[in-house]
Amino acid sequence: MVWTSTLVSALETLGIEERAARQAVNRTASDGWLIGESVGRYTRWRLSESGQRLLGTAWSRLQRSFDVDHPWDGHFLLLALTGTPPERQLRDRLATGLDFEGFGVLGPGLWIAADDSARTGADSILEACDLDGQALMFRASTVEGAETPAEVVALAWDLETAATAHRAFLEEFEGAVPKDDRDAFALRTRLAHEWRHLLSVDPALPAELLPEDWAGTRARGLFHDCFGAWKKSATSYYTTLADEPSVS
């Protein structure tokens, strides 16, 4: 549970004005991710069921983005939609979700991932879009004389865009040193936000499918180092925000 004032103060630390911060909290609640509870003059919030599912899926994807050093088994995961194509809005929602889970696109209604573990996130997205009865998944590998795994990667994913995003991440956070606890909180929150953004453009492919000197390897190491180094100071600052509620 968290007070409105804590959320607003945290957002203000990131440069968001109070009015916009309150609007963001209310909008998030209206979208069904938060549930508010009145306590006297104050309001405190908790994640809704859908919010908890979203957080759980995001956490699983975050973990997979770091677990890329195990050997690739040579298989891809294919996801194919069957039946009548969904309407545009639902199709876009599905595509955005599968992008985040690391799927690339091979053609209309056909997605590919390089790891079976992407299935859990895909199942959640299909269920949320009410499309779980319209999808087939296959475990597949390339055959001799056809496209190589590297050629499949080039078809399905835009690695240059991912590399550019990683280089921007490195440029922003390499050499960053927090001035105080407040700054550590802001930097650590931005670090996590930018890494979350990276997951939408970088499928976290196994090393066997990536170019040499992949920028994502350095970016991943930097994230680990900074996230750990700034934890104590950032947590200390957040604790001061959460100590006392104020009128919501």
d(CA 231, CA 171): 21
166-210 pLDDT, tens digit per residue, is 999 999 999 999 999 999 999 999 999 999 889 889 998 988 999
The β-bridge partners of 139 are: 77
Q: How far apart, in Å, are the Cα atoms of 147 and each of 71, 76, 155, 216?
A: 21, 13, 10, 25
pLDDT digits (tens, 9 = 90+) for 116-175: 888 888 998 898 888 888 899 999 988 876 678 989 999 999 999 999 999 999 999 999
Within 8 A by CB and 6+ apart from 89, the residues are: none
One-letter identity of residue 245 = P
Please report the pLDDT score of residue 244 as a whole number: 58
Separation CA 68–CA 212 (nearest Å): 15
The DSSP symbol for 35 reads E
Task: Write the DSSP symbol of residue 129.
Answer: T
* Region for 219 from its dihedrals, namely left if φ exceeds 0, alpha if ψ lies in -120 to 50, beta otherwise: alpha
pLDDT-derived band at 31 (thresholds 50, 70, 90) equals confident
Q: How confident is residue 48, by pLDDT bands cut at 50, 70 and 90? A: confident
In words, the CATH class of domain 159-239 is mainly alpha
Question: pTM of the entire structure?
Answer: 0.83
> Per residue in 220-229, is it b (16+ CB within 10 Å) or e — as a string?
bebbeebeee
The residue with tokens 């180092």 is 225
- Measure the CA–CA gap between 194 and 170, rounded to whole angstroms: 11
Does the domain spanning 52-156 belong to CATH 2.60.40?
no
